[in-house]
Amino acid sequence: MNACIAAIVCSAAKKDIRAVGLLKGFEGFVNSSAVELDEKAVSGIAGRGGTILGTSRNGALKTRLESTELRRVYESLGIDSLVVLGGGGSITAAKQIEDAGFPVVAIPCTIDNDVAGTDYTIGFDSACNHVIRMANDITDSAEALDGRVFVIETLGGDTGHIAVASAYAIGADAVLVPEMEPDLPQICGRIKAEMDVGKPYSVIVVAEGAGPAQGLVERLTEMLGRRVRVTSLGHAQRGGSPTYWDRKMARAFGEMAVDTLTSGASGTMTAMRDGEVNSVPLSVPTSGAKAFDLATYNLVNRLTDEGE
């Protein structure tokens, strides 16, 4: 998110536009709690994880703001347009602001990659790369510990996008996600058969929404007849210096948000679709859930011929 804040501020500065950052997201918006952000203020933040502004984690906009209240907020902050960075809750709030007639553009930022209308949300690549790095460390160790099964629990809220993408990238033996009911006897039967003929270890990725992974240990141990160990990656996936891809997307989305607003347009979300950066109306991300990547899920779980 910091990389995106920096891109917005620098892009605005080039157009002689003043930028302020709202502290703790929508909390700062409704309470007019803001800091001036110029190029100096954002210098060097792009490489830092998290956000210098903080977020309002529990409820983006708790109550729908009426036009008079929004006018008061825009006027007291001295702003004429708003860029909202966040996931589903924040984007829904952006849509409410748009519906009330105030200029706003949203940028999808969540490690979960669960926003409809865009193939990508900022943070996802860094989170997946964290999972991959940790999986590498675990499998280094697995090579010396013959015959074990390693369960890696990812974040992802009530979606399995991080788990599926990471499981595919590391060549995991199975992935469990909240979107799909797993066939544990089938999965364990396959893994057990492979290990019985010499496969040294196995890795199963579990999305937090399909877990808790720790609760699966007993069943997996029984079905696999192997020692099963769990690593829960937790909030480390939300931190760390962002990857090249996240910084590139943060810059592209941040610059597009400023361009959109300065062109007089509003009510859109920056998006990446089929490799192209563009904008979609806010009605798109707020009207339904993002499609689940069933093809990759099936590949990881060897449920298609290609996965054999």
State the residues that interact with ligand F6P by CB under 6 A. Answer: 57, 87, 110-112, 155-157, 208, 238
Q: What's the token pair of residue 102?
A: 């105030």
Q: What's the token pair of residue 98?
A: 């748009």
Q: Which is nearer to ligand F6P, 211 or 267 (CB)?
A: 211
Residue 111 CA to residue 1 CA, distance in Å, equals: 10
Q: Which residue has the tokens 């290990």?
A: 195
Of 16, 99, 112, 259, catalytic: 112
Least CB distance to ligand F6P at residue 252 (A): 21
Q: Which residue has the tokens 């007089």?
A: 264
Q: Counting runs of H as helices and runs of E as strands, what totals does the chain give?
A: 11, 10
- Parallel/antiparallel/unpaired status of strands 82-86 and 201-207: unpaired
Residue 264 CA to residue 277 CA, distance in Å, equals: 19
Least CB distance to ligand F6P at residue 108 (A): 12
Q: What's the token pair of residue 50?
A: 């998290």
Q: Which residue has the tokens 């983006």?
A: 60
Q: Which is nearer to ligand F6P, 110 or 126 (CB)?
A: 110
Q: Which is nearer to ligand F6P, 170 or 207 (CB)?
A: 207
Residue 65 CA to residue 185 CA, distance in Å, equals: 50
Least CB distance to ligand F6P at residue 181 (A): 20
Task: Give residue number: closest CB to ligand F6P.
Answer: 155
Q: Which is nearer to ligand F6P, 58 or 263 (CB)?
A: 58
Q: Is 274 a known active-site residue?
A: no
Least CB distance to ligand F6P at residue 223 (A): 27
Q: Which residues are catalytic?
A: 112
